[in-house]
A and B are shown apart, each in its own frame.
Chain A
């Protein structure tokens, strides 16, 4: 035999058992000490109180604002960037959205845009998707939201194009170089978990109010998936393929251009898809700094709690998302369209663009056919019915979860002395992931103390954990159902897609009616957003369990329940841990939205920091605390996943 070191065989059962005892011991000790030290050393901070750090951040912010007209960095760097981006967005808007070039209408009217959308979809995604795209775009017009949709589309396209211009080269770099990857990963983590509210106001300081700031806010959130997925794609090109190219004497450049990029095309297109979805999810938030489009309609409608109008606009965002998603997904398949089809498509598109440039009826979407008002009325009626008839049940449910789950967990985390909680978390991290995890957790906890927002962080942590538990319960129940039944999958998946793209602002109003302003409402909002991801991951994981194994289990006489519990779930545990990890991250990204409906703690700190100048520093610190919580939980779940799946 070859002298490879034998894999260390650990007596697993015993090890696991002992580990459980230790973990149990730690938790028990925590409970006892909690009784003793309750409400001592909890590091609380009142809503309007500030720490020196917060004041210092405020002063830095003020200094930047005061110097923006004299500082050369602003004059010659940020201004140039802003000008380029502004020009770019304005140009796209002039083409499809806004009156331009002295015309009372955009260059290309609705008919032309529908034609172009149909043709592009036909060319990259086939005729089925092309029909969907045409139907989708016409639907936007029928909703009475043509111009708003086009504004949103312009901004999204601009942000996506710039994201890709930056993201794909960076992704390639990170794919080729381990060092670049190590440097970029934490930066991307930061960009994706840092709440947008924190950098929204400073952005307008750097890039002024207008399309540039909105675009940059969007791309900070939307570029990371493009970078990550490109890097991943480059890394997953089979080693042999690269070697084959090198063995034939290809230069690095030739290998990159002829092998790596074409081989990763499919995956990179998937990255583009994710980037588009991320950009669309920023539409409403960007509206807070005057980004044009559907987001404004949503935000405005909410001032008067006009759920119907908000829903109509939210639905338009969902329609845009579905069309763009299907087109980019289908674009990953190899296809070749007959030449004549392409040419006739091009011809029809050309004609429709010409008409939409020339004739009024093709330029402005006709207002006499519309379904927007019916959608608005329908949504309003449904909301009213829900608000009138359900609170009796939902209120009880809320109280049950609050008293049985949220309050005890929050009491334990937020009313223990900070050093006790820190000690427990570090010890648990050590049990889960060894020394490295313990160090990461210790550093993160130290940073939380430094932000001055320890107690708020613990309250948010408690809600986050409860939300994640609910996400996982839903994920397992619905995911297993979808994984076992094709029909359930087909019926549920579109609803999940919609739930992910529908702006949270739209459903916050009915939620407030059902559950009042409370931590629970915030948790439910987070669950609505995070559960679809977890459900999809678990469904795919359950489906991926080899049919042979399921068959074998059935052949041995297992009931469905036994097959699920003893075969499918254990074999899908990779998917389960991934779902927990992603669920956590998605829940955390809703902390700020939660702050708008009664979550308090970090979420409220961020929202208030965005709204009140003197709380800015505190808001920023709260944003950092959210990122730190995210990093800590992410690393911990990953370590747990590693231990569990090995």
Chain B
């Protein structure tokens, strides 16, 4: 399947002479600090490549200052990229003129913000309908559609409230509803839950998972929280100093970290929750009895613990009838003990 979004060699440099920086291979190869010292420019995004598949939940993860928020803003040109291409459904949006860009924003993608960005002088319903209003959708139709998404995000009954009368979690539901109201193809989330309490954050994460399942939209989700990334992401992109460090599924990151930075990062992740059997299996040894129970390679370790420990023979990891390897007590205990 063709990717919905395809980003190639994307650069964003702030400060003087930004375009000269990206034109010079020598300057591009400098580290951030060196570039800063030499030219006074700050490279927030440096040569980023990635693809997002239709319907995918794609997470971009990094610490503050890693350039992830700038990256997501570049995707919708809220921040103008300095160089590179961003193909969206086959169209390079860096070439779109102002009008085309507005069309795209109105119809194709929308965004949910960390600090909600609600309009304090408008009711919930009017906030949700704002995107439709600026498209020129008539009032009656706007009201109908707003109500639909309000119901969808669980805000029913709060239509007439003002944002400052709602809790943080409820406000972000308004932000979510506003983004959904225009029925976009892609939703961008810029750390939408980091300003919320932990409990509410968990609810909202589940809410996003539910919505992703129900509406099936492509989503690009920015976070600095690894557990959030692992919980939500089909695939995760890890950024550092404006560059991509690694892209992969959660178990790939935990099982095969690209470098020490990622390794350090995933160190404290409860591995049994993330790793699957394919990461811990070993080739069968001659003394292994190969008539034990069978499990698939994508089975999460935690779910396999009971079966493996209760069997008196190693568990076979089998895919399409082919024996990939075996998992015995010591492999399982190695993972579980590492967490203790």
CB of A249 within 8 A of CB of B65, answer no
CB of A265 within 8 A of CB of B33, answer no
CB of A238 within 8 A of CB of B115, answer yes
CB of B119 within 8 A of CB of A246, answer no
List B contacts of A262 (CB < 8 A): 119, 121-122
CB of B130 within 8 A of CB of A247, answer no
Say yes or no for A4: interface residue by CB 8 A criterion: yes
List B contacts of A402 (CB < 8 A): none
Interface-forming stretch among B4-12, B104-112, B250-258?
B104-112
Say yes or no for B134: interface residue by CB 8 A criterion: yes
Provided the pairs A2-B64, A4-B65, A249-B104 are in contact, do residues A258 and B134 lie with their beta carbons within 8 angstroms? yes
CB of B33 within 8 A of CB of A2, answer no
Say yes or no for A67: interface residue by CB 8 A criterion: no
CB of B117 within 8 A of CB of A249, answer no
B131 to A, closest residue via Cβ: A248
CB of A240 within 8 A of CB of B105, answer no
CB of B106 within 8 A of CB of A248, answer yes
List A contacts of B78 (CB < 8 A): 243, 246-247
CA distance A265 to B121 in the complex (A): 9
CB distance from A236 to the nearest CB of B (A): 12
CA distance A250 to B64 in the complex (A): 29
List B contacts of A2 (CB < 8 A): 63-66, 240-241
CB distance from B18 to the nearest CB of A (A): 18
CB of A263 within 8 A of CB of B241, answer no
List B contacts of A238 (CB < 8 A): 115, 117
Provided the pairs A2-B63, A2-B241 are in contact, do residues A240 and B134 lie with their beta carbons within 8 angstroms? no
Q: Which of B111, B115, B240 contacts A247 (CB 8 A)?
A: B111
Top 9 closest pairs, chain A to chain B, by CB: A244-B117, A249-B106, A249-B105, A240-B117, A2-B65, A248-B131, A247-B111, A262-B121, A249-B102
CB of B115 within 8 A of CB of A3, answer no
Provided the pairs A2-B64, A3-B33, A258-B134 are in contact, do residues A244 and B113 lie with their beta carbons within 8 angstroms? yes
CB of A245 within 8 A of CB of B121, answer no
CB of A245 within 8 A of CB of B130, answer yes
Say yes or no for A334: interface residue by CB 8 A criterion: yes
List A contacts of B118 (CB < 8 A): 241, 244
Say yes or no for B32: interface residue by CB 8 A criterion: yes
CA distance A248 to B137 in the complex (A): 13
CA distance A238 to B135 in the complex (A): 23
CB of A263 within 8 A of CB of B120, answer yes
CB distance from B98 to the nearest CB of A (A): 9
Given contacts A2-B65, A251-B102, A262-B121, 13 further A-B contacts (CB under 8 A): A238-B117, A240-B117, A244-B111, A244-B175, A244-B178, A247-B105, A247-B110, A248-B106, A250-B102, A250-B134, A258-B130, A258-B133, A259-B119
Say yes or no for A338: interface residue by CB 8 A criterion: no
Contact with A along B125-139 (1 / 0, CB 8 A): 000001101110000
CB of A3 within 8 A of CB of B121, answer no
CB of A249 within 8 A of CB of B116, answer no
List B contacts of A240 (CB < 8 A): 113-117
Say yes or no for A5: interface residue by CB 8 A criterion: yes
CB of A248 within 8 A of CB of B130, answer yes
B126 to A, closest residue via Cβ: A258
A248 to B, closest residue via Cβ: B131
CB of B134 within 8 A of CB of A248, answer yes
5 of the cross-chain contacts (CB-CB < 8 Å) are A2-B240, A242-B117, A247-B110, A247-B111, A263-B119
Say yes or no for B218: interface residue by CB 8 A criterion: no
CB of B105 within 8 A of CB of A246, answer yes
CB of A249 within 8 A of CB of B119, answer no
List B contacts of A3 (CB < 8 A): 31-33, 241
List B contacts of A247 (CB < 8 A): 76, 78, 105, 109-111, 188
List A contacts of B113 (CB < 8 A): 240, 243-244
Contact with A along B59-97 (1 / 0, CB 8 A): 000011110000001001010000000000000000000
List A contacts of B325 (CB < 8 A): none
List A contacts of B36 (CB < 8 A): 5
Provided the pairs A241-B118, A259-B119 are in contact, do residues A249 and B134 lie with their beta carbons within 8 angstroms? yes
CA distance A592 to B191 in the complex (A): 56
List B contacts of A4 (CB < 8 A): 65
A264 to B, closest residue via Cβ: B121
| B interface, size bucket | 35 or more
CA distance A526 to B31 in the complex (A): 58
Provided the pairs A3-B33, A238-B117, A334-B162 are in contact, do residues A248 and B182 lie with their beta carbons within 8 angstroms? yes
CB distance from B35 to the nearest CB of A (A): 10
A241 to B, closest residue via Cβ: B117
CA distance A200 to B107 in the complex (A): 58
Say yes or no for A185: interface residue by CB 8 A criterion: no
CB distance from B78 to the nearest CB of A (A): 5
Which of B65, B78, B134: most chain A CB closer than 10 A? Answer: B134
CA distance A521 to B101 in the complex (A): 66
Say yes or no for A358: interface residue by CB 8 A criterion: no
Say yes or no for A254: interface residue by CB 8 A criterion: yes
CB distance from B189 to the nearest CB of A (A): 12
CA distance A241 to B122 in the complex (A): 12
Say yes or no for B103: interface residue by CB 8 A criterion: yes
CB of A249 within 8 A of CB of B241, answer no
List A contacts of B104 (CB < 8 A): 249
CB distance from B111 to the nearest CB of A (A): 4
B127 to A, closest residue via Cβ: A244
Instruction: Kindly identify, within residues 27 to 66 of chain A, every residue whose CB is under 8 Å from any CB belonging to chain B.
Output: none
CB distance from A562 to the nearest CB of B (A): 37
CA distance A262 to B115 in the complex (A): 18
List A contacts of B106 (CB < 8 A): 248-249
List B contacts of A242 (CB < 8 A): 117
B99 to A, closest residue via Cβ: A251
List A contacts of B102 (CB < 8 A): 249-251
CB distance from A211 to the nearest CB of B (A): 37
Contact with A along B18-41 (1 / 0, CB 8 A): 000000000000011100100000
CB distance from B247 to the nearest CB of A (A): 20
CA distance A341 to B161 in the complex (A): 23
CB distance from A338 to the nearest CB of B (A): 16
Provided the pairs A240-B114, A265-B121 are in contact, do residues A248 and B105 lie with their beta carbons within 8 angstroms? yes
B98 to A, closest residue via Cβ: A251
List A contacts of B121 (CB < 8 A): 262-263, 265, 334
CB distance from B41 to the nearest CB of A (A): 13
B122 to A, closest residue via Cβ: A262
A244 to B, closest residue via Cβ: B117
Instruction: Kindly identify, within residues 209 to 243 of chain B, every residue whose CB is under 8 Å from any CB belonging to chain A.
Output: 240-241
CA distance A263 to B73 in the complex (A): 23
CB of B117 within 8 A of CB of A243, answer yes
A261 to B, closest residue via Cβ: B121
CA distance A250 to B102 in the complex (A): 7
List B contacts of A254 (CB < 8 A): 134
A251 to B, closest residue via Cβ: B102
List A contacts of B107 (CB < 8 A): 249
B106 to A, closest residue via Cβ: A249
Contact with B along A1-15 (1 / 0, CB 8 A): 011110000000000
CA distance A4 to B73 in the complex (A): 21
CA distance A244 to B131 in the complex (A): 9
CB distance from A266 to the nearest CB of B (A): 9
CB distance from B43 to the nearest CB of A (A): 11
CA distance A263 to B122 in the complex (A): 9
